Copies of this chain bind each other. A is one copy, B any other.
Amino acid sequence: MPSQPSRHLEVVPNPKPERDYRIELTIPEFSCVCPKTGQPDFATIRVEYIPDQVILELKSIKLYIWSYRDVGTFHEAVTNQILDDFVAAAAPRYMQVVGDFNVRGGIHTLVTAEYQAPAVVA
């Protein structure tokens, strides 16, 4: 039963919303395309977040990651976009996304972006 790449992210209810706890995901199979040369780029994506009312569903994360396979994008842009999309879908209390990219031109690049939900006035 083949599935399709998709930017749509599913969420499921957080089983313990009354507690601040951390979820860390390591996704070593990210690949996109270099916008300059058209050649494939490879990275490991790491996501760490404190969920609020929902948590991200694992299979839809997999299809989301897959959706970049033919997309031309720079390291800094795509790491920030993943953070924006995951925050939009899950509205977490906190989230960090790390893009750990393979060596290009003898240089290894790692990009780290964070989101902090605004404090709520009680």
* Number of copies of this kind of chain in the complex: 10
CB distance from A6 to the nearest CB of B (A): 12
Interfacial chain B residues near A103, Cβ < 8 Å: 103, 106
A55 within 8 A of B: yes
For chain A, give the interface size range: 35 or more
A residues 26-65 near B (Cβ < 8 Å) are 26-29, 31, 36-40, 42, 51, 55, 58-59, 61-62
Determine if B58 and A109 form an interchain contact, defined as CB atoms under 8 angstroms apart. yes
Complex: A62 Cα to B38 Cα, angstroms: 13
Whether A27 contacts B111 in the complex (CB less than 8 A), given A37-B3, A40-B69, A80-B21, comes out as: no
Determine if B15 and A107 form an interchain contact, defined as CB atoms under 8 angstroms apart. no
Complex: A40 Cα to B110 Cα, angstroms: 23
Determine if B25 and A109 form an interchain contact, defined as CB atoms under 8 angstroms apart. yes
Determine if A1 and B37 form an interchain contact, defined as CB atoms under 8 angstroms apart. yes
Residues of A within 8 A of B (CB): 1-4, 14-16, 19-29, 31, 36-40, 42, 51, 55, 58-59, 61-62, 66, 69, 74, 76-77, 79-80, 102-114
